[in-house]
Copies of this chain bind each other. A is one copy, B any other.
Amino acid sequence: MQRYFSSKLSNNYLYLNDDDIYHIKTVMRMNDLDKIEIVYNNKLYICIIEDIKNNIKFKIEKEIDNINSNLPFITLIIPFLKETKMDLILQKATEMGVSEMILCPMERCMVKIDDKKLESKIIRWKRICKEASEQSKRLTISNIKTVKSINELKNLEGHNFTCSTQEKVKNIKKVLKTIKSCDRINLVIGPEGGISEKEENILNSIGFTSISLGNLIMRVETVPLFLMSIIDYEFME
């Protein structure tokens, strides 16, 4: 069943935005009495479509029991990258259960994004996250934030790690074994060429522990998928 996210509930009806309504009418070609899943406030409802031709409405039929995720709250801190790489990361990390992604300019970023462009980029990135959240049947939409520099990462709550090409002993596996499902994890991923020594020093000084990802040599856009996969695996029951 198709899933959508709503931000408005009133009198046993849930409301969707125009893009979703277009999708229901034109792409899915649904009809009155067809059912869809709508998530509102982290709760899942089965809704019935009414009056699709004129004033489309979504009546709540019933609430479905949540299957609580046993993943920790995961924040990936990601450098600005080329559009295709960024899109891949946002979509796949969302499928794999990331809670939040903080986009951050880093020294070796090949891409610079000025404030003017950033606003429209964020709208686009949020749409990718919403669609991937719907398709992978999440109860929350993965969140996007931006910061202006790594110095702004200093007050993040939880366990803080940065992927490092220097660290040889402490690897992600040793570290994940110490994490509990109720924890928060913040993980910094570097751009092509990795984070610079200066950045690694700053991150270490504000509480981020350097970790290795093992012997694999991965493209930058592969790293978040690798990290999310192994976190999912570690918390699989």
**Chain A residues packing against B (C-beta within 8 Å):** 67, 69, 88, 92, 95-97, 135-137, 171-173, 214-219, 222, 225-226, 229-230, 232-234, 236
Considering only CB atoms, which chain B residue lies closest to A214 in the complex?
B236
Q: Which of B88, B218, B229 contacts A136 (CB 8 A)?
A: B218
Q: Are A173 and B236 in contact (CB under 8 A)?
A: yes
A218 CA to B233 CA in the complex, in Å?
14
For A69, list chain B residues within 8 Å (CB): 215
A96 CA to B229 CA in the complex, in Å?
12
Q: Which of B171, B172, B222, B236 contacts A92 (CB 8 A)?
A: B222
Question: Copy number of this protein in the oligomer?
Answer: 2
A67 CA to B168 CA in the complex, in Å?
15
| Contact A219 B171, CB 8 Å, known A225-B229, A226-B229, A236-B214 | no
For A171, list chain B residues within 8 Å (CB): 236
Considering only CB atoms, which chain B residue lies closest to A70 in the complex?
B215
Q: Which of B219, B229, B236 contacts A229 (CB 8 A)?
A: B229
For A97, list chain B residues within 8 Å (CB): 216
Considering only CB atoms, which chain B residue lies closest to A226 in the complex?
B229
Q: Are A96 and B232 in contact (CB under 8 A)?
A: no
Considering only CB atoms, which chain B residue lies closest to A234 in the complex?
B233
| Contact A95 B222, CB 8 Å, known A236-B173, A236-B214 | yes
A76 CA to B225 CA in the complex, in Å?
18
Q: Are A217 and B92 in contact (CB under 8 A)?
A: no
A230 CA to B88 CA in the complex, in Å?
19
A218 CA to B218 CA in the complex, in Å?
21
A137 CA to B219 CA in the complex, in Å?
11
Shortest beta-carbon distance, A76 to chain B, in Å? Answer: 14
